[in-house]
Amino acid sequence: MKVIKFGGSSLASAEQLKKVLNIVKSDSTRRFVVVSAPGKRHSEDTKVTDALIKYYKHYITDYNFSEDQDWIINRYQSITDELGLRPAILEEIAGAIKDLATLPKEDNAFLYDTFLAAGEDNNAKLIAEYFRTEGLNARYIHPKEAGLIVTSEPGNARILPSSYDKLEELRESDEILVIPGFFGVTVDNHICTFSRGGSDITGSIIAAGVKADLYENFTDVDGIFAAHPGVVDKPHSIKELTYREMRELAYAGFSVLHDEALIPAYRGQIPLVIKNTNNPDHPGTRIVLEPSSSATPVVGISGDNDFVSINMSKYLMNREVGFGRKVLQILEELNIRFEHMPTGIDDMSIIVRGRELTPIKEQEIISQLTRKLEVDEVSIERNLSILMIVGENMKSKIGVTATATKALSEAGINLMMISQGASELSVMFVVRTEDEKTAVRALYDAFFE
């Protein structure tokens, strides 16, 4: 059986929902349907979730919110009308939207989460109704009934491990279950939303819980591209990549799925496919556990900017037991995550994301390195980008790094740093951000053209 998840743009209009119906109908093993809130119909449109945020703000500040309610209800109505659904379902949705404005405002840590979750929750009701109208044996199921019990961390809920036993019972159902994404319920019955990648997380948890054969994630692209389409002209889409490759690519700028959303599916060993609602015959991109031997050495090339390098040198640094640890300790005490730590003999660099390094923290680091660790020199270099070439099969092929460095060299790119770790799953290059796009194109041409 399969878990199938649709994103907001796949559920934005009646026209889109007809595509969704056909997709679900065309494969009887598609038994669990996880849905987002209605997304944008065109680039100027407003997402239902964003309208709910506005509604919430007006409600808690005692501002007039009836326009917000109307907008949201109309948004659902435009879909129910066009699909010819019975009026009762819209009444139910309208009632739920209006009821939000009766919830207590004081001492309610979950109020914001409850407003937000209404987008997904009501869409699930609508879609289950639509499926039934079209002859499917479908049913809306609330996360509480499904067993999606989460920690009490508003905006950052995590699934309780004990939930998985209950979720597994859903296998026994002979209905198509339509489940709202993005939230779960706490042991105290509060609505609590996941962090970034919300509905993807729900799909991933359900897939792991019901031990699905496949987790299908429907978006509005034909899968994952081998490089960013904004940088490389018409990059090819990747047929298959592993979870590890996906994670390496996600690290430096690939954002089709948020990588943390994949953890439950990865740990549950569920393969995943990313497909296009608007082009369902395209095979999409499969994300699997082990690489196939036929895969190319490099599956994708990613690039991300806003990295900073803290460079330090000290004569005979290398002989000091504990030097590296002390440097990392300084960062840890300032709550800064480091990304990489390339070392020479008497020099060391720490690469961090720019957003981690405020001017005050920067001054503190320089001061502590100079005072406590007595480094000879320290400098901070901003506006760096990290490029990654990723592929599990790189390790069996000599010369991938040579091809990459040759391509970068011929494109006139000055490599600030290069690092290839023992996993041989990726090679990382640090370049100046002004060179990033040229470098990604050079690498793409070298490996895919």
Smallest CA-to-CA distance from 126 within 6, 29, 26, 45 is with 6
Smallest CA-to-CA distance from 262 within 254, 251, 253, 271 is with 271
Q: Which two tokens stand for residue 174?
A: 């002979």
Specify the residue, 2 or 247, whose C-beta has the smaller distance to a second copy: 247
Task: Report the Cα 145 to chain-centroid distance in Å.
Answer: 26
* Residue 7 Cβ vs a second copy, minimum distance, rounded to whole Å: 23
* Annotated binding-site residue? 322: no
Beta carbons within 8 Å of 173's beta carbon, 6+ residues apart: 31
Specify the residue, 177 or 246, whose C-beta has the smaller distance to a second copy: 246
Instruction: Work out the number of other CB atoms within 10 angstroms of the CB of residue 102.
Output: 7
Beta carbons within 8 Å of 441's beta carbon, 6+ residues apart: 231, 232, 411
* Residue 161 Cβ vs a second copy, minimum distance, rounded to whole Å: 15
* Annotated binding-site residue? 303: no
Specify the residue, 52 or 357, whose C-beta has the smaller distance to a second copy: 357
* Residue 405 Cβ vs a second copy, minimum distance, rounded to whole Å: 4
Query: What whole-number distance in Å separates Cα of residue 315 and Cα of residue 89?
Result: 74
* Residue 389 Cβ vs a second copy, minimum distance, rounded to whole Å: 12
Residue matched to tokens 């502590």:
368
* Annotated binding-site residue? 5: yes
- Residue 238 is classified by DSSP as P
Residue 38 near residue 119 (C-beta atoms within 8 A): yes
Query: What whole-number distance in Å separates Cα of residue 265 and Cα of residue 277?
Result: 21
- Angle at CA of residue 226, ends 221 and 228, nearest 5°: 70
- Residue 223 is classified by DSSP as S
* Residue 112 Cβ vs a second copy, minimum distance, rounded to whole Å: 24
Strand partners, 307: 353, 384
Specify the residue, 319 or 355, whose C-beta has the smaller distance to a second copy: 319
Q: Which two tokens stand for residue 275?
A: 């497909």
* Residue 421 Cβ vs a second copy, minimum distance, rounded to whole Å: 4
Interhelix angle 87-99/66-83, rounded to 10 degrees, is: 160
Residues that bind a second copy (CB under 8 A): 244, 247-248, 251, 260, 263, 266-267, 309, 311, 313, 315-316, 318-319, 321-322, 324-325, 328-329, 331-332, 335-349, 381, 398-399, 401-402, 405-406, 408-410, 412-428
* Annotated binding-site residue? 131: no
Specify the residue, 9 or 393, whose C-beta has the smaller distance to a second copy: 393
* Annotated binding-site residue? 84: no
* Annotated binding-site residue? 445: no
* Residue 343 Cβ vs a second copy, minimum distance, rounded to whole Å: 5
* Annotated binding-site residue? 120: yes
Query: What whole-number distance in Å separates Cα of residue 93 and Cα of residue 42?
Result: 23
Specify the residue, 285 or 309, whose C-beta has the smaller distance to a second copy: 309
Specify the residue, 72 or 336, whose C-beta has the smaller distance to a second copy: 336
Specify the residue, 29 or 409, whose C-beta has the smaller distance to a second copy: 409
* Residue 316 Cβ vs a second copy, minimum distance, rounded to whole Å: 7
* Annotated binding-site residue? 65: no
The CA-to-CA distance between both ends of the chain, in Å, stands at 38
Q: Which residues are annotated as a binding site for ATP?
A: 5-8, 219-220
Q: Specify binding-site residues.
A: 5-8, 49, 120, 219-220
Which parts are annotated binding residues for substrate? 49, 120
